[in-house]
Amino acid sequence: MKRATLVRMGSTALLTAGLAMAMAMPANAAPVTSDAKEIQAALQRDLGLTPQQAESRAQQEKVAWSVEKTVRIALGSDFAGSRFDAKSGKLVVDVADASRVAEVRANGAEARVVENSEAELNATASKLSQKSAPKSVTGWRVDAATNAVVVSVYGNDAAATTWAKSLGADVRFEHVSVRPQTYWDLIGGQAIRTSSGSRCSLGFNARSGSARYVITAGHCTELGGTWSGSGGTIGGVSGTSFPTNDYGRITVSSSSAVQTGLVDRYSSGSDVRVTGSSAVGNGAAVCRSGSTTGWHCGTVSSTNATVCYQQGCVSQTFRTNVCAEPGDSGGSLVSSPSGSTVQAQGLTSGGSGNCSSGGTTYYQKINEALSAYGLSLVTG
């Protein structure tokens, strides 16, 4: 019998990532799309609005922005900005000439007389782009509420004032205690790298209270070091179990790294949203995502398989005919047993073969890892 060679999808040849209000409407009203319903639901949640209040606000804003277009054209150079006022449910229009107030009110908006026109404010903001800002400057904006250009400064650096004056810009300053930062998503199946240079794949995101973690293969986390993803640093290893098991966790210490319940399908389509981790049985269709070979699918041939590597054996894994290659280690294995929801199943461990000729791959069960660490899966 020809002997198959088992390959750990990680370590030196390291695998990098795993896998797979209805409201009555007038007869002449346009139908409410599903996306619009999602926005109304979010407004209710985040602004503390009832369904009726959310609907009322949507109608008020529709009227307000229609009025804004008309008034902006009519006022010309005297237009100084506008904003929707949630308390009154009306548009507030700033005018640089008091004689234009009645005109604004005749269009159903409230009026406020201010010193600077919108054109003047925009010109001031443009001046600030003409010369590199000191590192203490975290941004600037045209602020309708104060009819001014406001420069945000981290700390009390006098250089910010000197910089603005050197450009002849008449601005207001505000001091901020935290610098802005970019945000990036932690998505299953995408590449993660350790400071030693090895690559694996992100499995799933999990939490315990306010503590945040990335779950991936244990033969990856045993390498230690600081791990990074597509947007920068994730954090350090805070748990590893390999062999016997093949799971580990990386603490998400970067405030810019945003946990998601998503798994990357690469060229096969948009990301899928994981909604839970109900385990499937033998014969189940599954897909996995990994940073080397992307998205591949197959079936489960055993839900209780032991795979033995040179470093030791890993037991109670899923055995599948889904292919994988080095770098895919730790990546997400998912299923959609109901055809409507996506369930997390496991983490790519290792196997034999490749994605050109096919192969056999083993997956550490995700529920075992979550239970061992007392974690909750981050879902979509």
Apex 218 CA angle, 348 and 260, nearest 5: 65
Residue 7 predicted with pLDDT over 60: no
Residue 18 predicted with pLDDT over 80: no
Pick from 159, 149, 240, 151: nearest CA to 194: 240
Residue 240 makes CB contacts below 8 A (sequence gap 6+) with: 218, 221, 222, 248, 249
**131-169 pLDDT, tens digit each:** 889 989 999 999 988 999 999 999 877 899 999 999 998
What pLDDT was estimated at residue 253? Answer: 97
Domain 36-113 identical in fold to domain 118-176: yes
What pLDDT was estimated at residue 226? Answer: 97
**312-344 pLDDT, tens digit each:** 999 999 999 999 999 999 999 999 876 778 999
What pLDDT was estimated at residue 349? Answer: 96
Domain over 7-20+181-380 is classified CATH 2.40.10.340: no
What pLDDT was estimated at residue 9? Answer: 54
* Domain 118-176 top-level CATH class: alpha beta
β-pair partners for 318: 363
**Lookup: tokens for 211:** 């503590």
The better pLDDT of the pair 26, 210 is held by 210
Pick from 37, 25, 89: nearest CA to 63: 89
Residue 323 Cα to chain centre, angstroms: 28
* Domain definitions of the chain by residue range: 7-20+181-380, 36-113, 118-176
**219-233 pLDDT, tens digit each:** 999 999 999 999 999
pLDDT confidence bin for 55, thresholds 50/70/90: confident
Residue 16 predicted with pLDDT over 80: no
**247-275 pLDDT, tens digit each:** 999 999 999 999 999 999 998 888 999 99
Q: Could you tell me where the DSSP H helices lie in the chain? A: 34-47, 51-75, 101-106, 118-127, 159-166, 218-221, 366-373
How many C-beta atoms surround the C-beta of residue 288 within 10 A? 36
Show which residues are catalytic: 219, 246, 329
Residue 46 predicted with pLDDT over 90: no
- Predicted model pTM: 0.68
**161-212 pLDDT, tens digit each:** 999 999 998 899 999 888 887 788 999 999 999 998 999 999 999 999 999 9
Residue 32 predicted with pLDDT over 80: no
Residue 372 predicted with pLDDT over 70: yes
Report the CATH number of the 36-113 domain.
Answer: 3.30.300.50
The better pLDDT of the pair 93, 45 is held by 93
Longest dimension (CA), the chain: 96
Whether the CA torsion 300, 337, 274, 244 is positive or negative: it is: negative
**Lookup: tokens for 44:** 């209710």
Mean pLDDT of 79-91: 93
Residue 72 predicted with pLDDT over 70: yes
What pLDDT was estimated at residue 131? Answer: 86
